[in-house]
Structure 1
């Protein structure tokens, strides 16, 4: 009887606890209610213990996203950025950038400017690179203002970050202003000229790929100015090379115009003729080789013309292009150019070993020299 009484007391205590939970259910917060519903769905759907383990990464992902949202999107307005550690500040800015929250990010940079808070140089450079590539002029100029006031040493060391201003304007479509900025930077920061050449090469490639006629004319003007004023022909060669390789007739004509007005470019092409030929043949761009031969013949560079012709003939032999070899031989006869003996022997061996029923292997483009 004593044990039975103890049982009933425990039973009444259990019922009391159950009624208390039911009465207070409506007082639960929305967050706890959501968790209860989620838990109930898992139980009611009959998930096993292994199934629950597979759900944990998703739950963690939701928690991570929520945590990032409240930390980055909301706390930035309530947290004093000057009290954050350098790592926390950099992570917050990178997170805003990752979420494409440019407005909030620029507000943070403005606050850092007002309070003289240092942002990591790697973060600054990443923001500069991405904003300039995407043509976001205001963001780039905002960063330049911050850098000039808060990190003046970094600002001066990187040439006032003018190359990013030049790039952002070019990517935005205003090549005239972008190249004008880069030209001024080239004059002002002599120690960074090698770096500016690389930037200009990238901009030239983008301009040729985007087929902007106005930009092409602008680039022609500036590469010639750099070559004539500062005796720096690297941008000129890069621009000529991009136009020469292009499949567009207008670009090819622009390459010819550059050669006509620049004697220094002619001399460089003369020295690089064999290398240029080998480079484009790796890409099977036979049309470019034909144009190079025409250029060498036009400016009476016969030694270089002969070298390129030998390289081209050897290329045709390796590809068993009998028709192409015959075209080259005819042009050699007309121009008085002699092929090396070993190339002639190889060609004869191919002719002897070739049956009448065999057809020549077709090439990408028929070789035709027209002078």
Structure 2
């Protein structure tokens, strides 16, 4: 039997009771491991010190943000050129602040940001958005975008374009939809210029894997966007991006959908541009199925034949810049098949220049022979270049003596005496 002394006397505790057993175990533990209780008290002391340090650190960061926030909002109605007490413009102050806060922004995320853009002027909002874009601060950038949507306050056009492009690369379709709604409500010119931001939403959908919806979005917005130069440039750039990535990923299903959209745009708007972009990428591809698709398009659309003929030189130069000589050879064959002699002659001259710079005598000889058979002679300079290469001489164009350091060098042509 265990006994316990109390103020009223001695109290007996039954051995089998829970309280008695717990006290007995505590006595045994204290006798066998006297250091345990001391370690527990020490750990408790360490936890208290850590909590105190954490609270102090959080308070310090909060106070730092409040000081910066208060400084920013001291001049809510300041203009773009307003200077601070130190003589710096507001844009410079924001720029310096954004660079100095790079390490602290990770600890000051929304909803702790607490900045109300209604107190900012247009230049101030532009500078804040550009600062977050510069350091790729997605969290604070999205917070500012939500503020713009909430209070229907949009940045200037150039900054707005940068924000829309960044949102499209991130695949933020919802934010783009909200900004498009704000543009309609405040009658912003972007609502009509970009057809409710169709190019940006299409790229965002494309990055999210919704290729069919992206193509449908571009198709719906194409007729409206092409009415202005800026809208036409942006929506065509979106089409080119999708076309290039489709051919790089070798997606047959997406290529079929893309051709359907291109044909529909040609029928509705009489615009051959999208079809021409699809044709170019398929024609330059190394895959036979893509080349076959390009051949079918070229045979079916007379407008495409005329466009390619007009742009033969830039098209050939583009292929040669990527060292795609095979595409140039096939392009020459296409021009010969459709009796487009002027375009064919232009490609032959460009191909000769390319091979001459590489000092490929055999390729140059074949080009000269083909030009002779086709009655498409090279110019005099190229003939002399071929002879120089054949005779293993230097370039026939040599700088004249006495040019010195003049910026405009004068050249003379070597004279050749033909013996045949």
TM-score, normalization by structure 2: 0.58
CA contact under 8 A between 1:109 and 1:146: conserved in structure 2?
no
Aligned counterparts of 1:230 and 1:197: Cα–Cα separation in 2: 14
- Structure 1 CA distance for aligned equivalents of residues 102 and 392 of structure 2: 71
Deviations 1:89-129 (A, max 9, x none): 66666777743338x936x6556545x35142455433321
Say whether the 8 Å CA contact 1:72–1:95 is kept in structure 2: no
Cα pair distance change 1:63/1:349, threshold 3 Å: closer
Q: Which residue of structure 2 aligns with residue 155 of structure 1?
A: 191
Give the distance between the partners of 2:209 and 2:155, measured in 1 at CA: 30
Is 1:75 aligned to 2:112, yes or no? yes
Deviation at 1:296, TM superposition (A): 1.0
Q: 1:146 to 1:300 in 2, by over 3 A?
A: same
Contact kept in structure 2, 1:280 and 1:289, CA below 8 Å = yes
Q: How far is 1:167 from its partner?
A: 2.1
Aligned to 2:170: 134
From 217, 221, 231, give the equivalent of 1:185: 221
Shift of 1:305: 2.3
2:11 aligned residue? none
- In 1: Cα distance, 2:117 partner to 2:232 partner: 37
The answer as to 2:382 corresponding to 1:347 is no
User: Which residue in the other structure is 1:174 paired with?
Assistant: 210
Contact 2:192 2:224 in 1 (8 A): no
Say which is worse superposed, 219-228 or 144-153, in terms of deviation.
Answer: 144-153
Confirm or deny: 8 A CA contact 1:306 1:337 kept in the other structure.
no
- 3-state SS in 2 of match to 1:289: helix
Quick check: which has more Rg, 1 or 2? 2
Asked whether the 8 Å contact 1:175–1:218 carries over to 2, the reply is no
Distance 2:376 2:121 in 1: 74
The 2-side partners of 1:321 and 1:145 are apart by 60
- Matches of 2:99 and 2:268 in 1, distance apart? 60
**CA displacement, residues 196-239 of structure 1 (integer Å, 9 cap, x when unaligned):** 33332333233333332222222222223333432322333233
- The Cα of 1:259 is off from its aligned counterpart by 0.5
Match of 1:284 among 323, 343, 348: 323
Q: Distance in 2 between matches of 1:156 and 1:302?
A: 44
- Is the contact between residue 118 and residue 151 of structure 1 (CA under 8 Å) also seen in structure 2? no
Q: Is the 8 A contact 2:283 2:327 kept in 1?
A: yes
Instruction: Tell me, yes or no, if the aligned pair for 2:116 and 2:147 is still in contact at 8 Å.
Output: no
**Partner deviation per Cα, 1:297-341 (whole Å, 9 max, x = no partner):** 2222234323422432344344332222343355456x5435347
Aligned to 2:351: 312
Partner deviation per Cα, 1:228-278 (whole Å, 9 max, x = no partner): 432322333233223333334333333222201111111122222233323
CA 1:185 to 1:30, structure 2 compared with 1: closer, same or farther past 3 Å? same
Structure 1 residue 295 displacement after superposition: 0.9
- 1:219–1:258 CA distance, 2 compared to 1 (3 A): same
Deviation for aligned residue 1:67: 5.2
Contact 1:90 1:119 in 2 (8 A): no
Change (3 A) 1:117 1:251: same
Which residue of the partner structure matches residue 226 of structure 1? 265
Q: CA deviation at 1:130?
A: 1.4
2:122 is equivalent to residue 99 of structure 1: no
Aligned length: 298
Change in 2 beyond 3 A, CA 1:346/1:171: same
8 Å Cα contact 1:113/1:149 also seen in 2 = no
Unaligned runs of 5+ in 2: 1-48, 58-96, 394-420
- Write the deviation string for residues 324-363 of structure 1: whole angstroms up to 9, x where unpaired: 2343355456x54353474555434543448xxxxxxxxx
CA distance in 2 between partners of 1:66 and 1:314 (Å): 54
- Counterpart-to-counterpart distance in 2, 1:245 and 1:272: 15
**Where in structure 1 are there 5+ consecutive unaligned residues?**
1-25, 35-59, 355-371
SS of 1:257's equivalent?
A: helix
Q: Secondary structure at the match of 2:261?
A: helix
In structure 2, the residue matched to 1:337 is 375
Q: Does residue 120 of structure 1 match 2:159?
A: no
Q: Which aligned pairs between 1:4-153 and structure 2 lie closer than 5 A?
A: 30=53, 64=101, 68=105, 72-76=109-113, 82-83=118-119, 98-101=136-139, 105=142, 113-114=149-150, 116-121=151-156, 124-149=160-185, 152=188
Cα distance between partner residues in 2 of 1:138 and 1:349 = 64
SS in 1 for 2:197: helix
Structure with a larger share of its residues in helix: 1
